[in-house]
Amino acid sequence: MKKLIVLASCVALAACSKGEAPAEPDAEVTAEAPTAEDSMAGTYESTMADGSKATTVITEDGKYTNTAADGTVTTGEVSQAANGQTCFNSSEEGSAPECWTDGEPAEDGSWVATNDDGVSVTVRKMEADAAAE
């Protein structure tokens, strides 16, 4: 689940930066079906270094929709790489997967996700907050 959030963050960052095409990922990306316990499905909020926020919704079938702070919407599929990273595969033609590594969860349930370029975002699953109330 944590890896999914990292991926959501990556997608958010990818939507915000329209630079060079990403390099080929080192790890093979596999589409593993998550178990109910490990399901990545849910709504995630990612906070970038500049304080801007993005929201990523991941469905049970591994599809995602990311809405960046500027309103840009990106869609695609989420998968788990063989090395444990969460990878977002944009539906945009010619785009390469963007993979994220999740850090340890903080006391508040958030965690820091870092992509292969060293960009980090803070991620939290929004349903967890609603269920705690």
Q: What is the pLDDT of residues 70-113, one digit of tens each?
A: 999 999 999 988 898 999 999 999 999 999 999 999 999 999 99
Q: Domains in the chain, ordered, with CATH?
A: 2-127 (2.40.128)
Cα 116 → chain centroid: 13
- Rounded CA-CA distance 119/63 in Å is 23
pLDDT tens string 32-42: 433 444 678 99
pLDDT of residue 17: 46
pLDDT of res. 82:
85
**pLDDT tier at 47, thresholds 50, 70, 90:** very high
Angle among Cα 103, 118, 107 to the nearest 5 degrees reads 20
Average of pLDDT values for 25-47? 63
- pTM of the shown model: 0.69
SS3 content of the chain, % helix, strand, coil (to 5): 15, 35, 45
